[in-house]
Amino acid sequence: MADRTDWPGEALVVAAQAGDLDSLTALVAGSHPNVRRFAHSLCASREDAEDAAQEALIILYRRIGMLRASGALASWMFRIVRNECLRRARLMPRERAPLPDTAVMSAEDEVLRRLEAGRVAEAIAALPADQRHVLIMRDVQGHSGRTAAEALGLSTAAMKSRLHRARAALQHTLGDTRAHH
């Protein structure tokens, strides 16, 4: 079973950066599900999310050469989607709401709430795969420790150790992120 948070491999990114058109096409197609998920979790509306995802994929296609580290694709795309969602939130027509101040404030609150959720998603995506899988199974999907350990082919002790490291890394990353925002 494929992990739905898998991004295209580093070799594909490197080939795309070198100008291989087939690799670039495969990279954009392979990134699409994750970019779409980022957009739907960050943007205030479904329409904005679809537009933001498309814009991010166009930027990926046109500017893959700007990506400095081939392993940083997920964070680069997350930043592009986040910026596009914020840009779209600022463009929201204020006259749509009968009470503009209240409506604008709640729209901004919603964007901020989604950005916080997005920061958590980005921090989880940045975890090493073994830690990410355990954390998602236990804390996101709510599986028992025994079920997660069995599904991942680990002893309960190994699963607990990875989960502890994943939670600590996540807490460290999010603590650092909040300190800078």
pLDDT for position 162:
92
Per-residue pLDDT of the chain (181 residues; tens, 9 = 90+): 344 458 888 899 999 989 888 998 899 999 999 999 988 888 888 888 899 999 999 998 888 888 888 778 888 898 899 888 888 877 765 444 444 554 555 666 666 666 676 677 777 778 888 888 888 778 766 778 888 888 889 999 999 999 999 889 888 887 754 444 4
**pTM of the model as a whole:** 0.51
Token pair, residue 139, equals 């804390």
Closest CA to 92 of 80, 107, 81: 107
Residue with tokens 């960050």: 42
20 CB-contact burial (10 Å; exposed 0-12 / middle 13-18 / buried 19+): middle
Closest CA to 111 of 33, 45, 177, 155: 45
Token pair, residue 5, equals 């948070």
